[in-house]
Amino acid sequence: MKGIVYRGLEELVIENHGMAAWEALLDKHAPKNRVYISAQSYPDEELFAMANEVASILNKPLVDVLRVFGEYLFGYLIKKHSRILEQFDGFQSLILGIDSVIHAEVAKLYNEPNLPQISCEQIDDKHILLNYCSVRKLCFCAEGLIYGAGAHYGMKTQIDHQQCMHDGYEQCRMLLTYEGQ
């Protein structure tokens, strides 16, 4: 996973639990003197280990932690890549452009990123069917990112995770229902 994702986690942890909590996570789950640089890649295991630890400390299910992290990460990513957002006029066009615009741009800016495959089908003006596929199976993080995008555009968003890679399906299928401006 790229350093920018770890930097987002770092900001979230420090904001809510302080620098000492982040230092403790690093001490326990990253090699000595680890510094996350946004454009560099680091083993996924470090992210998973830290997410698991946060879940156990907060006594919350891992999926909830990943969802909350994803929601925060959306704000962090658009803060760092504000130009990418200019191409969208709202929630709907952003979601439809995750793969073809956002991650296509990421693939140009970052060396060998590990991106999920996301495809969308517009059902009507309130519904999009989104398919997610990735060896990292971070679909709950994807849910959080979608909620983060909804919050950014002031939309009421709902996600029905109809089928999931964690239940053995080849890809996750999520029905997004949204309402707002």
Q: Which is nearer to Zn ion, 85 or 115 (CB)?
A: 115
Q: Which of 9, 26, 30, 98 binds ligand MNH (CB under 6 A)?
A: 98
Where in 116-145 is the site for ligand MNH (CB under 6 A)?
A: 116, 134, 136, 138, 141-142, 145
Query: Rounded to whole angstroms, what are the CA distances from 116 to 66, 137, 154, 171?
Result: 16, 9, 26, 10
Closer of 12 and 142 to ligand MNH (Cβ): 142
* Long-range CB contact pairs, 48-52, < 8 A, 24+: 50/9, 50/25, 51/9
Q: Residues with Cβ < 8 Å from 136, sequence gap 6 or more? A: 1, 44, 114, 116
Helices (runs of H) and strands (runs of E) counted in the chain: 8, 4
Interacting residue with ligand MNH among 51, 66, 84, 128 (CB under 6 A): 84
Out of ligand MNH, Zn ion, none, what residue 14 binds, judged by CB under 5 to 8 A for its kind, is: none
Q: Which residue has the tokens 């803060």?
A: 79
Q: Does 159 bind ligand MNH (CB under 6 A)?
A: no
Q: Whole-number minimum distance, CB 134 to ligand MNH, in Å? A: 3
With CB under 5 to 8 Å by kind, the binding choice for 172 among Zn ion, ligand MNH, none is: Zn ion
Residue 38, class by beta-carbon neighbours within 10 Å (0-12 exposed, 13-18 middle, 19+ buried)?
middle
**Cβ distance to ligand MNH smaller for residue 13 or 141:** 141
Asked if residues 65 and 54 have their Cβ atoms less than 8 Å apart, the reply is yes
- Chain residues binding Zn ion by CB under 5 A are 139, 164, 172
- Chain residues binding ligand MNH by CB under 6 A are 1-2, 4-5, 77-78, 81, 84, 98, 102-103, 106, 110, 113-116, 134, 136, 138, 141-142, 145-146, 149
